[in-house]
Amino acid sequence: MDNSVRNYVTELNTGILVLDESLKIMYLNSSAQSMLDISLKSSRKKELKELFYEEPDSYENFKSCLSEKSNFTKVDALLFVKGGKRLLCDYHIQHFSYDPVEEGLIIEIINKEYSHEIRERLRSQTNQEVTSAFIKGLAHEIKNPLSGIRGAAQLLSQKFSDLGLNEYTEIIINQTDRLTSLVDNILGPNRKPSFEARNVHEALENVISLVHQDLREKDIVLVKDYDPSIPDIFIDSYLLEQSILNLVNNAKEALEDSNILSPKIEVGTRILHQEFLGEIQHKTVCKISVIDNGPGIPSEIRESIFFPMISTKVTGSGLGLSVTQGIISQHHGTVSCKSEPGKTEFSILIPVENGVPEEKKLGKIHA
Size of the site for ligand ATP (CB under 6 A): 23
By CB under 5 A, residue 333 contacts Mg ion: no
Strands 280-292 and 85-97 turn out to be unpaired
Which region, judged by CB under 5 A, interacts with Mg ion, from 43-51, 121-129, 177-185, 312-320?
312-320
Residue (113 or 256) nearer to ligand ATP, CB: 256
Q: Site for ligand ATP (CB under 6 A): which residue of 319, 335, 348, 352?
A: 319
Residue (199 or 258) nearer to ligand ATP, CB: 258
SS3 (DSSP) at 305? coil
CA-nearest of 276, 277, 256, 275 to 265 is 256
Q: Site for ligand ATP (CB under 6 A): which residue of 203, 233, 321, 350?
A: 321
Nearest 10 degrees: Cα torsion 107, 111, 112, 117: 170
The helix (run of H) or strand (run of E) holding residue 208 is helix 200-217
CA-nearest of 86, 120, 118 to 303 is 120
Q: Site for ligand ATP (CB under 6 A): which residue of 39, 124, 289, 317?
A: 317
Q: Least distance from C-beta 134 to ligand ATP, angstroms?
A: 17
Q: Least distance from C-beta 321 to Mg ion, angstroms?
A: 6
Own/partner pairs, 359-365, CB within 8 angstroms, 24+ separation? 359/195, 362/332, 365/280
Residue (77 or 290) nearer to Mg ion, CB: 290
Query: Residue 95: beta bridge partners?
Result: 105
CB-nearest residue to ligand ATP: 320
Task: Give the C-alpha separation, 122 to 120, whole Å.
Answer: 5
Residue (61 or 311) nearer to ligand ATP, CB: 311
3-state SS track over 70-95? CCEEEEEEEEEECCCEEEEEEEEEEE
110 contacts 17 by C-beta, under 8 angstroms: no
Q: Site for ligand ATP (CB under 6 A): which residue of 35, 107, 153, 251?
A: 251
Amino acid at 326: G
Which region, judged by CB under 6 A, interacts with ligand ATP, from 51-59, 171-179, 190-198, 320-328?
320-328
Site residues (CB under 6 A) for ligand ATP, limited to 252-281? 254
Amino acid at 314: V
- Could you tell me if residue 274 is left (phi over 0), alpha (psi between -120 and 50 degrees) or otherwise beta? left
Q: Say how far residue 218 (Cα) sits from the centre of its chain.
A: 26
26 contacts 19 by C-beta, under 8 angstroms: yes
Residue 235 interacts with which of ligand ATP, Mg ion, none, CB < 5 to 8 Å by class? none
Size of the site for Mg ion (CB under 5 A): 2
CA 313, 319, 321, 324 torsion-angle sign: negative
By CB under 5 A, residue 250 contacts Mg ion: yes
By CB under 6 A, residue 297 contacts ligand ATP: yes
Which region, judged by CB under 6 A, interacts with ligand ATP, from 23-31, 136-144, 204-212, 244-252?
244-252
Which region, judged by CB under 6 A, interacts with ligand ATP, from 11-19, 100-108, 275-283, 311-319?
311-319
Task: Give the C-alpha separation, 268 to 319, whole Å.
Answer: 24
Residue 58 interacts with which of Mg ion, ligand ATP, none, CB < 5 to 8 Å by class? none
By CB under 6 A, residue 246 contacts ligand ATP: yes
Residue (292 or 353) nearer to ligand ATP, CB: 292
71 contacts 106 by C-beta, under 8 angstroms: no
Q: Site for Mg ion (CB under 5 A): which residue of 188, 193, 308, 320?
A: 320
Query: Residue 224: beta bridge partners?
Result: 267
CA-nearest of 102, 87, 105 to 33 is 87
Which region, judged by CB under 5 A, interacts with Mg ion, from 43-51, 106-114, 125-133, 248-256?
248-256
By CB under 5 A, residue 324 contacts Mg ion: no
By CB under 6 A, residue 320 contacts ligand ATP: yes
DSSP code at position 333: -
Give me the residues that bind ligand ATP (CB under 6 A), please. 246, 250-251, 254, 292, 294, 296-298, 301, 305, 310-313, 316-322, 344
Give me the residues that bind Mg ion (CB under 5 A), please. 250, 320
